[in-house]
Structure formats: structure tokens, C-alpha cells
Amino acid sequence: MGSRGQNPLQCNHTTLVDFILLGFSDIPDLQGLLFGVFLIIYMIILMGNSLIIIITKMEPSLQTPMYFFLGNFSSLEICYVSVTVPRLLVDLCRQARNISFLACAAQMYFFLVFGATECLLLTAMAYDRYVAICHPLLYPLLMNRRLCVQLAAGCWGSGIPVHIGFTYLIFSLHFCGSNQLNHFFCDIPPVLKLACGDTFMIEMIIYVVAILVVIIPFMLILGSYVRIIETIPKLPSATGRAKTFSTCSSHLMVVALFFGSGLITYFRPKSSHSIGMGKFLSLFYTIITPMFNPMVYCLRNKDVMVALRKFPLK
């Protein structure tokens, strides 16, 4: 109520200076523990994904479309977590947690771009598995090097123009009253909570973008795996069925973790929004899931495990 009496220019002025990321300041006794935990997780993500990138580049037996996409996915994971985790680690070590208006907008933009790229890249990986399992004779023809590069480039580049306009719209809103973001990074829900005035149109745009970037890819992935699951029992050898199931279940685990937490965060009713639950879900899709991805793809993939055992000998 107090914000209505403020001059709009003053409101704009305060937001243009900075926001304050509250992060986990409500549990001051655990700052040191959280710093240690998140630092270890970040190092696991960096080392695990870097190892996958190196192996998929250097191991001749892994020069296939599946591992080409896996190498891209690991590169993306490093970019994705590096948007939020280093800033979180710095904030856990200091009292002042100010983030400038532009820095907050940049963090949101890159987070959205890499998040959208991850959705699309997981879809491309599902399509690759669909063609390999359901149309094996056509696989070398359909999934040629040129198409793989085009798909990867499309995944990396398609979110860039969309999210420039999207981020601009969000940060063009008027922000009145408190400039404290009760979150550990500049995500859409906590930033919109600080906006004054009607945010209905922005929320509708969020849903439209989410449908294009999240729901449609998710449905395409599900459709691919319905066909794959129907095909697996028809494979001639038990070994082939087991290998196919292991590879596909790894990808499905990653899809379920990433899309599940993201969909709950952005599509749950506004009335049910809880600050604590929002932070927990955000931790899940920004930090926890990327930590498990290298483990899932390595430990459940015999080809990668064989390459890992050979790797130190080179």
C-alpha cells in the first residue's frame, strides 16, 4: 500500500540502482555449510561434464550422433550452472548482496536462453534415439553430420532473439516498494513479485513462451519414447534390448528431473506459491539435476564406461 504514494520516477530510480538477492540469508548459521556443499556440487558438475566433453571428442568409438549431442549437452550444462552458482557462492561469503538492475536482467536472460537450449537439446537427443531404434536402416542417412550440426546450432541459437525481447519486457515493468528479491538468483517469479501495476500480459506471455519452449518439446520427447518403448520388445537380441533400455532410461531420467521441477515451478497456481518451495525447486533444476546428469550418462552407459577405462592409458 505504501508504494502507491511514491513518485513513479523515484520507484524507477531505486530499481535502476540495484536489487538485493536475499538468497539463504534467513538461515545465517548454515552459510558456511551451504557454501561448502554448493562449491563441491559445482566442482562435480564442471569436472564431470568436462570429462564427457573430452571423451566424446577424443574417443574414436564415440564419434556418433548420440555422443555428439551428449558433448553439446555437457557444454551446455557448464554454461547453465555458471549463470547462477558462482554468484550464489559469492553471496554466501558476504553481507552485501546487491545486484545491479542490468546484471539481474543479464542473469535472467542467460538463464532463460540456456534453459530453453536445454529443453530443445533434450528433444534433439530424443529424436536421435527415436530414429536409431525405430528406423535403424535409415539412421546413417537421416542423422548425418550436417543435420546433427544444424540441429545443435538450432538448439543453441533459437532462444536468443525470443528471450532478448522477453527479458526486456519484464525489466520494462515499474518496480515499486521493496527491492529485495527473496531468491538466490534473478528468476522470473521473484522478479515479477516486485513489479507494481498489472502484470497480466507479461504472465500470459510467460505461459506462451513456456508452451513453445517447454511443453511442446516435452510432448515431442514423450511421443518419441512411446514409439521407442513400443519398439524395444521387437528388437532381435536380449543384449540389444538391454543396451537400448539402459541408454534410453538414462535420457528419460534426465528429462523427468529437469522438466518435472521446471514445470512445477512455472505452471503451479500463483496462490500456491511458497518462497521456500520456490527456492527448493529452483535448486533442483539449476544445481541438483546438472550434478546428476554426468553420473547418469556415464554410469548407465557401457560405451562411456569403456572409454573412461581406456582414457588414462592414452
Question: How confident is the model over 69-92, as a mean pLDDT?
Answer: 94
Cα–Cα distance for residue pair 254/297, rounded to 1 Å? 9
Per-residue pLDDT reduced to its tens digit, 4-14: 444 444 444 44
3-state secondary structure 260-291: HHHHHHHHCCHHHCCHHHHHHHHHHHHHHHHH
Q: Which domains does the chain have, with CATH numbers?
A: 7-313 (1.20.1070.10)
Looking at 19-138, list the stretches that DSSP marks H as alpha helix, in order from N- to C-terminal side. 31-58, 65-92, 101-134
Work out the number of other CB atoms within 10 angstroms of the CB of residue 60.
6
CB 311 within 8 A of CB 62: no
Q: Please check the confidence at residue 37 and state whether its pLDDT lies above 60.
A: yes
**Model pLDDT, residue 302:** 72
Interval 276-288: pLDDT, tens: 677 877 888 889 8
pTM of the prediction?
Answer: 0.87
Residue type present at position 51: L
Nearest residue to 150 (alpha-carbon basis) of 139, 142, 162: 142
The answer to whether residues 223 and 126 touch, using CB atoms and an 8 Å cutoff, is no
Amino acid code (one letter) for 144: N
For residue 273, the model assigns a pLDDT of: 55
> Residue 137 and residue 146: Cα distance in Å, rounded?
18
